[in-house]
Amino acid sequence: MYRLALLLIGTCFAVQSALASDAGADFSLRAADEPAPSARPWDKGASFSYQNTDGQASWLTDAVLKAAYSWDQKFTAKPGQPEFQAGSIRWNVNAGPYLHKLTASQKPQNDRGVSLSLGGHLVPGGSATGAVTDLDFGITVTNGRKLTQGSGTLSSSYFDVGSERQMLSVATYYQPEDSGHSDLVYFFQLGAKGYSDNAYGSQNPQVNGRVNGAMGQVQFSLAPLGLDPKKHQLGALGFAPMISLNAQTQHDTSATGGRNAGNHRLYSATFSFPFVNNNDQEYSGPVPSVDIKRSTGADLLEGRENKGVTSITLSVKY
Amino acid sequence: MADKTRLMQLVYYAIDKASPDNLAITPGKNSLQAISDCTLTSLKITSQGVADMWQIINVFAGGYAGGKAVPQADQTKCKTVGDVWKAVCKAPNVDPSL
């Protein structure tokens, strides 16, 4: 089934007040959305969107308020090596409430609670020649409530259950060494997660229980014309399209209570065509962008059941 | 003066580290002055690479010329290598001339 999601209202807000100390640590308080407890919440702002699926309207709210603290750790350089070639880790601690709510839908969502995460971003040291790599790792703990669809004779009903989840994650970025002969840019992102998800306190025992498992993910991204929008003009606007292919597999290793262990896969392809205003002083008109995404499969950590979705997002900046 | 040279080396290293091009061994691109007019995107530095570049600069800039971390608001304004260098010089009040 094709779904056309038209974003009528998209607001992003980020209130960030960073106080940098000599030690490199900073504290910030920001409002941002959290598409799911497993996602990195500082990537996007809060959003409110309207969807119309087969004539039925629904509102989606994603919001999270995070208190964040971060600090830097440098490694010791090898003898004879400049200090700045030693490598470093940027540590982050985030904590705060989240809300992920879809109203007036046949498949409502109402995830709310608090999350706490500790993560690090490692930039390795050594020579600057060769590929670009880094490593992200972290642990996230969430506790709250969510709507869960029943199973068996109650499969059409939704139950408000207690929810808690612990998750370990690691991801690496890899951009191969470039020959410099063309504008083409491509890179890979590989990730793995281990999770333990518990649902409890429902009047329907079929939705209560704990599921443990692991997930692997690979993403390939390609900018066929390069990253520089100044090189390709359409009127006053430049553009640099990007194609991303993503595949992930999720394997539940054990399940208790009324929940069942399963295997789930999710594939997606995204084509992004953003325009950029290259002449800030001379052009003051709208700057459009288009994103087309096709995905198929399931990701139960994100609350997505097995389905295929095609979405087209049109946005305009003024 | 020595501190400024080391600060330039740090910034050049951070940019070279974030770019898949081997800048240091590429004629015409093997110094901060030579690439100062280049945009970060023309050096094939992705948004992830930009984050890595700023982490290297902000973690180690404190050791040179009284340097300090560049605030996020200033980071997002940097489109070219020259912009990055000026932003780094702004904090420790280093002469930004190359």
What's the pLDDT score for residue A8?
28
Measured between CA atoms, how close is B56 to chain A, in angstroms?
Answer: 7
Question: Is the pLDDT at B96 greater than 90, yes or no?
Answer: no
Give the list of residues 6+ apart from residue B74 with CB closer than 8 angstroms, or none.
B87, B90
Give the list of residues 6+ apart from residue A113 with CB closer than 8 angstroms, or none.
A37, A97, A98, A142, A143, A144, A145, A146, A163
- Higher-confidence residue of A78 and A222: namely A222
In-domain check, residue A118: no
Output the pTM of the full model. 0.82
What the block records as the tokens of A284 is: 């003051």
Q: What is the mean pLDDT of chain B?
A: 89
Does B72 lie at the interface with A, CB-CB under 8 angstroms?
yes
What's the pLDDT score for residue A248?
96
What the block records as the tokens of A317 is: 């900046």
In-domain check, residue A52: no
CB contact under 8 A, B41 and A240: yes
In-domain check, residue A147: yes
Does B63 lie at the interface with A, CB-CB under 8 angstroms?
yes
Q: Which residue out of A83, A123, A181 would a mutagenesis test of the B interface target, given it has the greatest number of B Cβ atoms within 10 Å?
A: A123
**Which residues form the domain of A291?**
130-317
Report the percentage of chain A scoring pLDDT > 90. 50
CB contact under 8 A, A132 and B52: yes
What the block records as the tokens of A8 is: 């009528």
In-domain check, residue A5: no
Region A199-214 average pLDDT: 92
In-domain check, residue A121: no
Tell me which residue in B23, B26, B59 faces A88 most closely, judged by beta carbons: B59
CB contact under 8 A, B9 and A84: yes
Tell me which residue in A84, A134, A227 faces B52 most closely, judged by beta carbons: A134
A259-269 pLDDT, tens per residue?
999 999 999 99
Give the list of residues 6+ apart from residue B76 with CB closer than 8 angstroms, or none.
none
Measured between CA atoms, how close is A181 to chain B, in angstroms?
Answer: 10
Name the packing angle between helices B81-90 and B47-60 (round to 10°). 30
Question: Is the pLDDT at A243 greater than 60, yes or no?
Answer: yes
Does B69 lie at the interface with A, CB-CB under 8 angstroms?
yes
Question: Is the pLDDT at B29 greater than 50, yes or no?
Answer: yes
A13-17, A79-83, A220-224: segment of lowest average pLDDT? A13-17
Region A189-207 average pLDDT: 93
Question: Is the pLDDT at A156 greater than 90, yes or no?
Answer: no
Tell me which residue in B13, B20, B69 faces A20 most closely, judged by beta carbons: B69
What's the pLDDT score for residue A34?
36
In-domain check, residue A75: no
Domain count for chain A, please give it: 1
Region A234-249 average pLDDT: 93
Between CA A93 and CA A104 the distance in angstroms is 35
- Higher-confidence residue of A129 and A278: namely A129
- Higher-confidence residue of A42 and A122: namely A122
Does B42 lie at the interface with A, CB-CB under 8 angstroms?
yes
In-domain check, residue A160: yes
ipTM: 0.92
What's the pLDDT score for residue A126?
92
- Higher-confidence residue of B95 and B81: namely B81
Question: Is the pLDDT at A9 greater than 50, yes or no?
Answer: no
CB contact under 8 A, B45 and A227: yes
Using alpha carbons only, what angle is made at residue A179 by residues A243 and A192, rounded to the nearest 5 degrees? 50
In-domain check, residue A77: no
pLDDT band at A17 (very low <50, low <70, confident <90, very high): very low
Q: DSSP letter string over A34-93?
A: -SSTTS-GGGS--EEEEEEETTEEEEEEEEEEEEEEEEEEEPPPPTTS-GGGS-EEEEEE
Please list, residue by residue across A90-107, b when 16 or more beta carbons sit within 10 angstroms of its beta carbon and e when fewer do.
Answer: bbbbbebebbbbbeeeee
